[in-house]
Chains A and B, each alone.
Chain A
Amino acid sequence: MYPFHNRKNFLTFLAPFAVAIVIALAIDQFFQHVILPKETELSNSQKVKRLMEENHPDEIPVFGSSKGRSAFIPDTLGENVFNYSMPKCNFDIIEFLLEIELAKDKDSPIIIEFNNRSFISMPSHTIDLYTFMPLTYDERVVEFLRRNDRLDNYQLIPGIRYFGSYIQYLRALNRTETDRKQMSRGGFFLDHYPGDELFGTFVNKRYAMIERRDELEAKARSHRTMTLTDKMELEQLNIALNFAEDTARIGKFESMVRAHPHRDVFMIYSPQHHSEVVGIQNFDKIDSLFNHWNTNFPNLHAYDYSRLALSDSCFKNSSHINLRGARIFSSQLKKDIGHLLQTD
């Protein structure tokens, strides 16, 4: 037992670690059974749980990112619509949500929010563990996390599985409806415009990015040398501004849709601020992709509202529309495809 000389000393040394383990387990169980069930339907975990464990035959799910969460108003679109959108959710997560939804014995339509970054693959950034860890009792979640290299075995051990997420769960409890924040079946809408000055700053920042991208591209075309910093900056700007056309991922999405011809899938490009649209150099690829889907897939319908005329006051920042914008958009969407969303 060197350097403890005897067993008693050694056990005394170990005692605080044992107490710490007991505390960790107690905190784990407290969160598992008391805190997590208190989360509202706006919580990402609760949304995924609802999708996995509940079956609403007529429900029309909306899958998408924070752009989708703040754009599709279920109350406007129809009583069967539920907004499953969550921040940072692109095809990395939508693929999983679609798998669950398509495995159900249903024939209701599905709405997916589209944007220029929908098909970028970056699971380490998009798949938040605090969303999925409370659901790891379900093998599908474990398989999904492993497939995306987001889960190590130790993360399944009670006591440490929620490490790093506790504060996030407590924070989620604080999301309640106020005069300026409205919730509607998974959707979250802010009645707020930041003011001309601040909004102008957001827009100018994006224009500065576009200008810088153009500058670097001009440099790349000239006889001047692109430094490593230039190359990396250009790559990052293109990721941020352009449409990421990942043919493998798009192909996978198409095969999922094709395999379920009885489910209509509506791919909706929600309204974007004009500064975002003008930055997409390869918008023609989005147009041709939408045409391709509308022509070749009887059950895949693509609609582009990215250039819907909305004033600045319809945005909460240069990337997301606010309640006012969401109302205009959702009404327009209802008018255009509402008859196709009838499930009875």
Chain B
Amino acid sequence: MLFNSIDYLIFLPLVVVAFYLIPKRFRWILLLAASYFFYMFWRWEYVILLIISTMVDYVVAIKMSQALERKTRRMYLMISIATNLGLLFFFKYFNFFTENTVLFLEEFNIFVQYDFEQILLPVGISFYTFQTLSYTIDVYQRKAAAETHLGYFALYVSYFPQLVAGPIERSVRLIPQFKRNPKVTRDDIRYAINKILLGFFKKLVVADTLSLYVNSIYSNVEGTTGIQLYLGAFFFAIQLFCDFSGYTDIAIGSARLMGVRLMENFRRPLWSENHSEYWSKWHISLTSWIRDYVYVPLSKINRSPSARAVWAIVVLVLIGFWHGANWTFIFFGLLNGVVLITQRVLRNVPLFAMIRKNPVGNALQRLLNLNLLFLEAVYFRSVDVRMGNTVLYKIFTDFRLSVSEVLSLYKYEFLMSVVVSLMLLATVTFNKDLKFKHNWAYVTVTIAIIIVFGQDLKNQFIYFQF
């Protein structure tokens, strides 16, 4: 089920009303049933994968907690990792690896006849796989206790607000909230509604409107100029942010309606001083997952500055690859890693340290960082690496700069993109904590803006494909 669908607008209030009507001890049953219904609304068959992940990790965690020997616990951990990553690999990466192996062999005149078939990616698999893996790793490391109540654990894996696109929650944060059934106040409800509306605004008004311009530009790379491609890259970065953070806002708001506090996944990442800061504020639940379960263990192998630089690049390539089985995502991660390390080195140069301390210099540094992020996102949006290279090549070589040049193609889409970007700027400037003196005015105006400016493209959230 899509958040931006009428189905969800019916589903969510029904679940919330039922949640308050039934006794607290039965609420987990309602939420579990609702979560499975939510997932099966897309394709019922793939719920089997969710059940497999849930059952394997439930049993493995209990066995791990009972095992006395580290070797035995490690064996159970391996079972969990193999099951979860095996499913993820098959559905997400199998064709990519097979294709590249075949192409590699062809370079040596070894021809393999293989009939590739499309494998439909189960929605949300990258998210719930990482979520359940964090649980078994935490149990293995004795950072979390094994959950003995199958119902609560199944709800942790499948909780509908964050099932298909995060935030990737840790068991120690989420399961106790299900059990505690925290009291919901009027402020919670107000915050939840405001957050959901903000999410819809970001998705339906900003991201979907920007997608009109971005899609036009990327479907006509050869026919567009450098400045148009640059603007396409600029608007895509904003689209991506609004699409994903919009989803997260709706997820956080939906959960909060029932008293559950999900973690914030974004903390104004685009206006960061450098890539290190950016990656600490963007998709926080994934970056913290990678930090805790990949970067920290890698750092223990070798802590030297050069090794840490390599680990940082490895981690960002992994984050890129997590997004999809395509070389574009690997390039995206690699570029981010290289820029991050370069910035880390330059930070220690006295001149750059001085610039950073100066307010104007600091603003310029943030602006430069923002531009680097736009340019890196070109690979994220491109269909293949060749397209990404073409876009960047044209941006850096085609300097036809004039207003008429900008408006020569897709004028309407461009002007609408400017309008919604300014709306977004106003929103993030005046709307920091979602607390308003006249909340009714905020709700009314936001709904009116969504109705008038929203797009009915039935676009999936970009992160659903991951």
Contacts and interface: CB of A to CB of B under 8 A. Distances in A.
Interface of B: 6, 20, 95, 99, 102-103, 106, 111-114, 116-118, 183-186, 188-190, 220, 222-223, 384, 412, 416, 439-441, 443-444, 447-448, 451-457
19 contacts: A3-B189, A5-B186, A9-B186, A13-B186, A16-B447, A20-B444, A27-B452, A129-B456, A164-B455, A164-B457, A167-B416, A198-B223, A201-B223, A205-B220, A224-B111, A225-B112, A227-B99, A227-B116, A228-B118
B451 A163 contact: yes
A3 B186 contact: yes
A165 interface: yes
B453 A167 contact: yes
B444 A19 contact: yes
A160 B451 CA distance: 7
Contact of B102 (A23, A227, A231): A227
Contacts of B118: 228, 232
Contacts of A232: 118
Contacts of B114: 225
Given A20-B443, A20-B444, A226-B116, A164 B6 contact: no
Given A152-B6, A201-B223, A224-B106, A27 B451 contact: yes
Given A20-B447, A224-B111, A225-B113, A171 B222 contact: no
A228 B116 contact: yes
Contacts of B457: 164
Given A4-B186, A16-B444, A163-B454, A225 B111 contact: yes
Contacts of A208: 222
Contact of B184 (A3, A27, A225): A3
B456 A164 contact: yes
Contacts of B455: 164
Contacts of B454: 163-164
Given A3-B188, A228-B95, A163 B444 contact: no
A250 interface: no
Given A4-B186, A231-B116, A163 B222 contact: no
A79 to B, nearest CB: 34
B151 to A, nearest CB: 24
Contacts of A9: 186
Contacts of B103: 227
Interface residues of A, number: 41
A223 interface: yes
Contacts of B441: 16
Interface in A170-225: 171, 198, 201-202, 204-205, 208, 223-225
Nearest to B21: A2
Nearest to A9: B186
Given A205-B222, A228-B95, 6 more contacts: A3-B20, A3-B185, A19-B444, A163-B454, A167-B416, A223-B111
A165 B185 contact: no
B99 A228 contact: yes
A163 B443 contact: no
Contacts of B183: 3
A224 B114 CA distance: 9
B444 A23 contact: yes
Nearest to B456: A164
A23 B440 CA distance: 14
Nearest to A129: B456
Contacts of A20: 443-444, 447-448, 451
A17 interface: yes
Which residue among B117, B190, B444 has the maximum number of chain A CB atoms within 10 Å of its CB? Answer: B444
A223 B185 CA distance: 67
A24 interface: yes
A154 interface: yes
A23 B416 CA distance: 22
Nearest to B187: A3
Contacts of B116: 225-228, 231
